């Protein structure tokens, strides 16, 4: 049984509630345990995962959050840099499922976050579990 940390960038409460629900359900369905921590935004997710990975308390990580395009370039910075940070950690062998949504509008975000629709939170949890299993295989 693995212990998986969900790191959520809690900016849109109603969307994050759906992402976390999907992730928790997938983790529990796979027979694992989970904890949730919250960070201010998507840019802080990779840093929190890096710090938590040093503790040896967690076997894998799920990154969750929502970035909705606005009127400025900030969307691109947050989307690209959070993904780059998560990818860098993954390349270091840390099993992470990336469920940070980057959407054009709230309607797209709801469709992706809702466990009854696209369930991207559950998908990110399944990806984290798959990466953990690969790490254990290659040991």
pLDDT tens, residue by residue, 60-118:
999 999 999 998 889 999 999 999 999 999 999 999 999 999 999 999 999 999 999 99
72 is in an annotated binding site: yes
Q: What is the pLDDT of residue 72?
A: 87
For strands 3-9 and 33-39, give the pairing.
parallel
The class of domain 3-138 in CATH terms is alpha beta
42 is in an annotated binding site: yes
44 is in an annotated binding site: yes
Task: Decide: 109 and 118 in contact? Cβ < 8 Å.
Answer: no
Integer distance in angstroms from the first to the last C-alpha of the chain? Answer: 16
Task: Decide: 42 and 100 in contact? Cβ < 8 Å.
Answer: yes
Six token digits for residue 11: 């900016």
Residue 121: name the closest of 97, 104, 102 by CA. 97
In the chain, where are the structural domains located?
3-138
71 is in an annotated binding site: yes
Q: What Rg do the C-alpha atoms of the chain give, in angstroms?
A: 14
DSSP code at position 72:
S
Q: What is the pLDDT of residue 89?
A: 98
pLDDT tens, residue by residue, 38-68:
999 999 999 999 999 999 999 999 999 999 9
Q: Active-site residues: which are they?
A: 74
Taking the whole predicted model, whether its pTM rises above 0.95 is answered as: yes
């Amino acid at each position: 049984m693995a212990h998986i940390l969900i790191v959520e960038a809690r900016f849109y409460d109603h969307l994050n509630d759906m992402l976390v629900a999907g992730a928790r359900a997938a983790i529990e369905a796979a027979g694992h345990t989970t904890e949730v921590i919250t960070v201010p935004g998507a840019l802080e997710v990779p840093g929190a995962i890096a710090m938590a990975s040093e503790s040896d308390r967690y076997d894998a990580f799920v990154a969750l959050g929502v970035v909705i395009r606005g009127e400025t370039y900030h969307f691109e910075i947050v989307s690209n840099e959070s993904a780059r940070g998560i990818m860098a950690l993954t390349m270091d062998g840390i099993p992470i499922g990336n469920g940070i949504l980057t959407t054009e509008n709230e309607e797209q975000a709801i469709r992706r976050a809702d466990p009854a629709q696209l369930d991207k939170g559950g998908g990110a949890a399944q990806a984290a579990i798959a990466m953990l299993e690969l790490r254990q295989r290659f040991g």
